Structure formats: structure tokens, C-alpha cells
Structure 1
């Protein structure tokens, strides 16, 4: 319970600082390139995420960062738990936005930051919103920004990788960008497996070899979905086995 209180107090207690820094960043925007501004904006969410993860006292191991390409890319990860976003923000040096449910817009400061990070908001109850989110994501990628997506749609809570929805393939094909698979294991240990109480977890993140834009264009959508899912799922299973062998 104590770790949960410390984590959530930092989550909201940091917002006034973040709001002041955002104003400073926005004042510099006119003098920076898109890539420079993305990198500048990324520093604050990364600092916030590192603070969150430090307060959970979790151990995070990250590998494969050399696979991150220059230029815009669609980052595709399995979705294990609520701490996937903080872990990835704290560990992935490449600036990225992500697709988020529209309810986040009700929070103070956070949605303003997310808009400058090039996040896309989705109303899951509205089919038109889903189509628009795909178009908005393609637009962000074509404009030179990277986006993270969880094709499972919902958290697996550590119960293995579930089926991938097909929207991410259309996004990658329409935007003409590479897909970077990312395997996540262990985030559900922090919260979901503890009746939503925060406890230290052992999280493993691995960035995997990208699928090039040329390869994506050539492959059939169903085949590509299966290839990306299998690539991530195989690595998640390997992570789980390695962790079990150490116990």
C-alpha cells in the first residue's frame, strides 16, 4: 500500500512542474525542427516515467535499442499491464507518441503533454473514432513522428500474448514506415497480479529487428500480422522461460 501511495502521489504531484516546463518548451518550438522539438518534449515524460518506475522499486532490463531506426517508425508492442507505457517511456530513447483512450483527456496537464508528444486519442465505443484514429496516426507518421501501438487492444495481465487486431498493418502500409516489434514481460507483476496494489517487479524489454517498409508493402496483411505477433510472442515466451529458470 505504501508503494502505491508514493507512486500515485508522484504521478499527480509532478504535474505542476510538468506544466511549467511545457510552457518553456512551447516557447522554444518556433526555433526548433520537428525532430528537435520531439526530442525536447520527450525529456519530460521520460523524466516522469523514470520517477514512477523508481518508486515501484522494480528492476528493468532493456536490450535491442540498436534496432531503433532513424526517422519515423510504428512501434508495435504486446500489452501486458498498466505500467507498459511508463516502462517504455523511461527506457526507449526514441521520442514517440501513442494511441490512448479519450478518457485521459479529463486529467489535468497530461493530455496537453500528450498532444505535443503526437499522441492520438481514441473513443473505443465509436467506430468513426476508430477510423479517424487510424487516419490521424498515419498523418503523424507521415509528418515524421514515431507512434507506439498495442495491437492486442487490452492488457493480457501476464496471461500470454493475445490476438492482434489488424489496424496497425493498415497504418504501417499507408504511412510507408517500418514496424519495430517490442516484447514486454513482467509489467503485470507491478500491479495487475497484486490485486492492483503496486509492488516491485522484474520487467524485461526487448526491441526486435524491424520489418522494413518495403517488406511491409510486399507482404499480405494476414501474413504480416502473424509474423509480427509471432516475433513478439516467441520473445515473450523466451523471457518468461529465462525468468523461470533463474527462480
Structure 2
């Protein structure tokens, strides 16, 4: 597969990270396989998470093919870039086709990135997740790798004005140990276990995070259970019901 678009995008992204002096802390990269297919299942707190999830695979020199909603591919600017990087369009009206495209990529030895929560978590905790990541890993016979991100919400998240030029922001990327679901395994059980693992990874990096809000007004980027003013999971779920993405 020709890679004419993805490497320059990675280079430009790394340059931007350096110019902004983002404090990137990448942990657990040894859990990303150097070759072969795999599914990365990552939490979702920011519109920029795909960039940082992909960055987490860079120590293994892997490019991640993300599953993203069709509307991004329809954008006249983002669309050609997404197709050039061989990401996978998700059309909810043609879900089987998107799923098959992801399976084909996995069987061809690609890493596929999935955000199982489907939409950004307003509470900055792990919401209920969909079973697609587990099902794909089991059907393709590849490892399932949990990942958690923290700090990206400070740059651009749902309901907040984006601040893409903010400097010196710490961002933590933690990759957990892979599992290998089998075709006869209980998908619902494994999906619940995946959510628990993702939540544990996220809690670890939230509690280890080297920065704290500088004022009461900035406590919005902390979850409620850590003393922040982000909505509770219950309030966030209600907000999602009122204004689905």
C-alpha cells in the first residue's frame, strides 16, 4: 500500500507538537506489535484523539487506520487526507460494509484504531462502549489493545472553544497489555472487561497527571470524581440524549 500522504502528515503533526512544546508522555508502547494486524481501542475525550492515539503507535513505527464517521470523509479538505491515509469510513446506514473494510485491513496486517464509546465523553470517564472492537479482533484473529489518553481535552473537546495554540500542555498516552479474543468467546463479557480495563488505564493517568487547573474556571477539564466541574456520567448521558452527536 503506497504511503504518500500519511508520513508527511505524521511529520507535520510531530513538528506542531514540538512547536507547542506539548509535554508528551508515551507509556506502554512495547504493547504495540511491530508487525501484523491489531485493534487499538481508545477512550475519547477530544476531537484530536486520533492524532494522539496514532502517536502512541509511533515508537513501534506503525501507522494506525482509524474508523471515522462518513461526514469527515465528505469534507472537501479532510476527506482527501483521510482517504490518502487509508482510514476507514463508517456509514451508519451501511455498517456491514464499514465493518468488512476494517476486517480486510486487519487481515492485511494493519492496525485499526477504534473509539468504542463512539462519541466524546463529556464526563471525561469511559462511557458504555460498543462491542465492535472485540468482535473485529476475534473475527480477524488479532490482538485487542486498550489505550487511554488524557490532556487532549484541554485543546479541543465537546462544548468548549478550541485552543489549538495552547502551549506546554501535558498529554499522557498509556497503552495496556493486549488480549486475543477468540471466535467462541462471550463478546458481551469481553466488551465489559475491555471497558473496565480502559477505565483503569484512564484513572491511572488522570491521577498521575502532572498539571492541575490554575483557577476555578479551569476545573472544567477535570472529571467530577477528581474534584473537577465536568458533568457527572449521569448528567453527561442526559446531555447526550438531548443533543446526540
What range describes the TM-score normalised by the shorter chain of this pair? 0.7 to 0.9
2:73/2:82 contact within 8 Å kept = no
Query: Which residue does the alignment assign to 2:54?
Result: 89
Pairing partner for 1:147 from 112, 127, 139: 112
Pairing partner for 2:127 from 162, 167, 176: 162
RMSD, aligned CA: 2.4
Query: Which residue does the alignment assign to 2:141?
Result: 176
- 1:85-124 matched pairs, under 5 angstroms: 85-93=50-58, 94-108=62-76, 110-124=78-92
Query: Which residue does the alignment assign to 2:13?
Result: 49
**How much does 1:55 deviate?**
5.0
The Cα offsets for residues 144-196 of structure 1, whole Å up to 9 and x where unpaired, read as 21110000000114521111111222211211111111111111011228533
SS at match of 1:177: coil
2:174/2:205 contact within 8 Å kept = no
Pairing partner for 1:206 from 174, 187, 198: 174
SS at match of 1:48: helix
Pairing partner for 1:222 from 176, 188, 206: 188
- TM-score (normalizing by structure 1): 0.74
Structure 1 CA distance for aligned equivalents of residues 161 and 207 of structure 2: 24
Structure 2 CA distance for aligned equivalents of residues 239 and 194 of structure 1: 22
**How much does 1:108 deviate?**
4.2
1:237 equivalent to 2:222? Answer: no
Pairing partner for 1:195 from 143, 153, 161: 161
Query: Which residue does the alignment assign to 2:45?
Result: 80
**How much does 1:221 deviate?**
0.6
Query: Which residue does the alignment assign to 1:185?
Result: 150
2:133/2:144 contact within 8 Å kept = no
The Cα offsets for residues 188-227 of structure 1, whole Å up to 9 and x where unpaired, read as 0112285333334321101111012xx4445311111111
SS at match of 1:203: strand
Structure 1 CA distance for aligned equivalents of residues 198 and 211 of structure 2: 20
